[in-house]
């Protein structure tokens, strides 16, 4: 009896040590991953913030507004580059499809040609009205496909859970165009020269990093050599082609959904410029500076959440609700502090000439309370391939947002954008609470099959 008790004690001790070791490894891995991603976001955020400070001090409001307007046009046209393919690459890489980045980038490069065609129209328009923006717009015609086709490399590395390498790449890809832009700004203070340097440097660094990284991908190389030695059978080729088609199709679905959300992200600036002019566009850029920093630092949650949800199908939305509630509380506390000190921050960093941006900045930061919960719930939909629900969310929210922008900007001027953001984010949050409660496709079938097999046994 005593020997048996000792045996049980030893077994329990071993199990306890094993669980503690596993827990320590788990937290060490995810803390390390998160630390690298946070560090990358901090560096990128600071670089962007410094550049915005310099723009606000070295350029007049109209010149700065002109710069932001063409950046907005480029961002709007990025819908042609199949932005949703990055999500597909992340998801399929997590499921061990190593050719995802190469195949996805080929598709993105092909569709980006439509963005270049749209820029030809924009160039002709600017030239016809005598606006100097036709020069950087013409430059962008040739470089546009390379600006927006290769940024999925970071998502590919996220899918492999190589967070350190992905964070380094992300930092380089963002820091180089910012550094080049700042240099040209200080030397010339010309919106045309700044925009041309931004376009060329962005296309160059994305293309160079993509080329070098693709050549060095050990996993893809090993996978290719292994398949070469086996001399793939017809079935293997067919299976790989099916996987490729599934990924491209899924990426196109997500990209189509993103058309409305991307339009929503940029149309507020175009609507504002139409009603209130380029000077107010510059004020909006300053008002959104600090809230966008907060938003940038929350985006790293997506590559941490999606691979985990993809691999663990047993996690249900009910298991995630406590995390959503906690994120709301933490966000509210941080945002309350920012709201109080916002007037001092804007006048200190961007001078008193942008004091008019304080009220709309406060409204925008209030809307940020919903950002993390929305990221968590959309990541859940993405991981479960709930395409219909994602279509509903990605189309309904932007339509509501664009409509509220038009109405509230006309009613309240610049502050109308802040009111529209609060209203739209609240509606998005409520809609996601409803959509995430639906059953993921295939769940019911699997449960029924399991029940049937259990009954047979």
| Cα–Cα distance measured from residue 105 to residue 151, given in angstroms and rounded to the nearest whole number | 9
Q: What is the pLDDT of residues 376-414, one digit of tens each?
A: 888 888 777 788 888 889 888 888 998 999 999 999 999
pLDDT level of residue 54 (50, 70, 90 thresholds): very high
26 occurs within a structural domain: no
* DSSP tag of 82: -
More confident residue, 35 or 196: 196
Residue 194, number of CB atoms within 10 A of its CB:
26
Number of structural domains, the chain?
1
Q: What is the pLDDT of residue 442?
A: 55
More confident residue, 371 or 318: 371
Find out whether 423 and 412 touch, Cβ atoms under 8 Å: no
pLDDT level of residue 3 (50, 70, 90 thresholds): low
Q: Which of 373, 368, 369, 371 is nearest to 320 (CA)?
A: 373
> Can you tell me which residue has the tokens 């496709």?
441
Of the listed ranges 181-185, 237-241, 414-418, 434-438, the least confidently predicted one is 237-241
Q: What is the pLDDT of residue 451?
A: 42
Query: Burial, 20: exposed, middle or buried (Cβ in 10 Å; 0-12, 13-18, 19+)?
Result: exposed
Give mean pLDDT, residues 17-38.
52
Q: What is the pLDDT of residues 227-271, one digit of tens each?
A: 555 444 544 555 667 777 888 888 888 888 788 878 888 988 999
Q: What is the pLDDT of residues 137-181, one digit of tens each?
A: 999 999 999 998 888 888 888 888 888 888 888 899 999 999 999
Q: What is the pLDDT of residues 336-358, one digit of tens each?
A: 999 999 999 999 999 888 999 99
How many secondary structure helices (H) and strands (E) does the chain include? Answer: 20, 0
23 occurs within a structural domain: no
Give percent of the chain with pLDDT exceeding 70.
78
Of the listed ranges 183-197, 207-221, 399-413, the least confidently predicted one is 207-221
pLDDT, the chain, mean? 81
27 occurs within a structural domain: no
Give mean pLDDT, residues 201-211.
90
276 occurs within a structural domain: yes
380 occurs within a structural domain: yes
> Can you tell me which residue has the tokens 């509220």?
404
Residue 281 has pLDDT above 70, yes or no: yes
Residue 454 has pLDDT above 60, yes or no: no
13 occurs within a structural domain: no
5 occurs within a structural domain: no
Vertex 351 angle, CA 346 and 352, to 5°:
85
Q: Which of 437, 304, 278, 428 is nearest to 368 (CA)?
A: 428
| Cα–Cα distance measured from residue 65 to residue 184, given in angstroms and rounded to the nearest whole number | 17
Q: Tell me which residue range forms the domain holding 287.
A: 32-224+234-438
Helix 234-276, helix 278-287: angle, nearest 10: 120
More confident residue, 234 or 360: 360
Q: What is the pLDDT of residue 22?
A: 42
Vertex 44 angle, CA 281 and 59, to 5°:
35
- CA 303 to each of CA 39, 75, 219: distance values in angstroms, whole numbers, following the listed order: 15, 22, 19
Q: What is the pLDDT of residue 261?
A: 79
Find out whether 74 and 147 touch, Cβ atoms under 8 Å: yes
* DSSP tag of 95: T
Record the pTM: 0.75
2 occurs within a structural domain: no
Give mean pLDDT, residues 304-327.
74
């Amino acid at each position: 009896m005593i020997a048996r008790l000792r045996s049980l004690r030893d077994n329990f001790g071993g199990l306890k040590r094993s669980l503690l070791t596993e827990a320590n490894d788990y937290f060490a891995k995810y803390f390390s991953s998160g630390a690298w991603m946070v560090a990358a976001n901090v560096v990128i955020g600071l670089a962007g913030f410094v550049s915005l400070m310099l723009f606000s001090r070295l350029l007049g409001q109209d010149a700065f507004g002109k710069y932001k307007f063409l950046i907005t046009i480029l961002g709007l046209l990025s819908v042609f580059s199949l932005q949703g393919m990055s999500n597909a690459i992340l998801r399929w890489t997590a499921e061990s499809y190593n050719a995802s980045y190469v195949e996805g980038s080929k598709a993105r490069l092909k569709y980006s040609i439509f963005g270049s065609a749209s820029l030809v129209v924009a160039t002709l328009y600017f030239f016809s009205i005598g606006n100097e923006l036709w020069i950087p717009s013409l430059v962008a015609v040739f470089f546009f496909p390379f600006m927006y086709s290769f940024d999925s490399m970071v998502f590919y590395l996220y899918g492999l859970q190589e967070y350190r390498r992905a964070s380094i790449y992300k930092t380089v890809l963002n820091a180089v165009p910012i550094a080049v832009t700042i240099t040209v700004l200080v030397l010339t203070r010309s919106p045309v020269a700044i925009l041309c340097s931004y376009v060329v440097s962005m296309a160059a660094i994305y293309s160079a990093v993509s080329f070098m990284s693709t050549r060095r991908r050990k996993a893809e190389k090993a996978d290719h050599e292994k398949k070469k030695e086996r001399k793939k059978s017809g079935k293997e080729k067919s299976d790989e082609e099916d996987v490729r088609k599934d990924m491209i199709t899924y990426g196109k679905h997500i990209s189509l959904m993103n058309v409305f959300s991307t339009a929503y992200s940029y149309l507020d600036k175009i609507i504002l410029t139409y009603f209130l002019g380029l000077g107010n566009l510059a004020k909006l850029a300053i008002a959104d500076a600090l809230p966008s920093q907060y938003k940038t630092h929350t985006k790293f949650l997506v590559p941490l959440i999606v691979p985990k949800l993809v691999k663990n199908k047993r996690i249900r939305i009910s298991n995630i609700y406590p995390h959503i509630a906690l994120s709301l509380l933490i966000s509210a506390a941080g945002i309350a502090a920012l709201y109080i000190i916002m007037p001092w921050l804007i006048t200190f960093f961007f001078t008193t000439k942008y004091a008019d941006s304080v009220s709309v900045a406060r409204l925008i930061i209030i809307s940020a309370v919903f950002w993390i919960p929305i990221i968590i719930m959309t990541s859940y939909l993405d991981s479960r391939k709930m395409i219909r629900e994602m279509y509903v969310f990605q189309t309904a929210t932007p339509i509501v947002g664009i409509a509220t922008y038009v109405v509230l900007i006309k009613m309240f001027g610049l502050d109308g954008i802040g009111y529209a953001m609060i209203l739209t984010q609240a509606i998005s949050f409520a809609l996601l609470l409803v959509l995430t409660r639906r059953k993921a496709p295939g769940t019911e079938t699997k449960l029924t099959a399991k029940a049937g097999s259990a009954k047979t046994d």
